[in-house]
């Protein structure tokens, strides 16, 4: 089951704000919704989906297991709790949100529990997020690359993460880009503004189209219906080789998500 190239992220969205965002997105045609246990919004996401009338079979739901629940005796119970909140009997993709801090929980234990969750039908696919190359290699050695549906990483024109992307691709592992708009920083970038003008597009559309054209899935979030609709149109934007080359030159290794105690040693 392939992962849709475009979806809605819900990081930092809470309460009625996330309900409205998911409701508007679904009404506009979004079908991938990405949430996580630590976001504290799974119940509201589930409420919005339930009220939308969109058949569950048309949706692709992703959630992520928080570090407190990575132990093999905690993972499945926590995922079942997520399913109750999301008002569904399964998610389409479950990710390890961050590697276990300090390696406190062996990765093999977590992946074993995830594989069991998949076997039980609680999730259709499993994957990882925020791993470095060494951890991704360990995951491959444990469950095989074919069983890692995606690696979700911070990736934007300012952080193109090429070492990780190249390694993942060499193993046949799909990439999902989060923070593709770099907390909105790229929206005023002069290079992206010029490209946007050439295509009669927005800078957000350009950044999202760039990532999708490289083969990544993107999950931008927004609280504004107009922006949700505009982002959706990025799927129809085709950038030229010149456009892609100009964006490639923007890479400056600028990482915005690097939480102490959670982040591994980045490549």
Q: Cβ contacts of residue 68 below 8 Å, gap of 6+?
A: 74, 78
Of the candidates 39, 158, 178, 216, the residue annotated as catalytic is 39
Q: In what order do the strands lie in the sheet with 217-218?
A: 8-9, 32-34, 60-65, 91-96, 123-129, 151-154, 175-178, 217-218
**Distance, CA of 105 to CA of 128 (rounded, Å):** 15
Q: Active-site residue 183, yes or no?
A: no
DSSP alpha helix (H) spans, the chain: 15-28, 42-52, 75-86, 107-119, 133-143, 162-170, 190-199, 203-213, 225-232, 241-248
Would you say 101 and 262 are in contact if contact means Cβ atoms under 8 Å apart? Answer: yes
Q: How far is CA 236 from CA 117, 199, 205, in A?
A: 36, 11, 9
Catalytic residues: 39
């Amino acid at each position: 089951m392939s992962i849709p190239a475009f979806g809605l992220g819900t990081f930092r969205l809470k309460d009625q704000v996330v309900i409205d965002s998911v409701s508007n997105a679904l009404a506009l045609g979004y079908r991938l919704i990405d949430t996580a246990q630590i976001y504290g919004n799974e119940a509201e996401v589930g409420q919005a989906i339930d009220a939308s009338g969109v058949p569950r079979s048309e949706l692709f739901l992703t959630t992520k297991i928080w570090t407190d629940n990575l132990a093999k005796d905690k993972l499945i119970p926590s995922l079942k709790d997520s399913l109750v909140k999301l008002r569904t009997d399964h998610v389409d993709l479950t990710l390890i949100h961050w590697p276990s801090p300090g390696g406190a929980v062996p990765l093999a234990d977590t992946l074993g529990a995830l594989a069991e969750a998949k076997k039980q039908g609680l999730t259709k696919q499993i994957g990882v997020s925020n791993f470095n190359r060494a951890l991704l290699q360990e995951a491959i050695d444990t469950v095989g690359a074919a069983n890692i549906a995606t690696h979700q990483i911070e990736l934007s024109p300012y952080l193109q993460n090429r070492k990780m992307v190249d390694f993942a691709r060499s193993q046949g592992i799909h990439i999902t880009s989060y923070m593709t708009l770099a907390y909105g920083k790229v929206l005023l970038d002069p290079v992206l503004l010029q490209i946007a003008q050439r295509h009669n597009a927005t800078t957000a559309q350009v950044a999202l189209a760039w990532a999708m054209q490289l083969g990544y899935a993107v999950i931008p979030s927004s609280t504004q219906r107009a922006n949700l609709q505009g982002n959706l149109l990025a799927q129809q934007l085709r950038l030229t080789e010149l456009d892609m080359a100009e964006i490639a030159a923007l890479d400056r290794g600028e990482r915005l998500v690097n939480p102490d105690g959670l982040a591994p040693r980045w490549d």
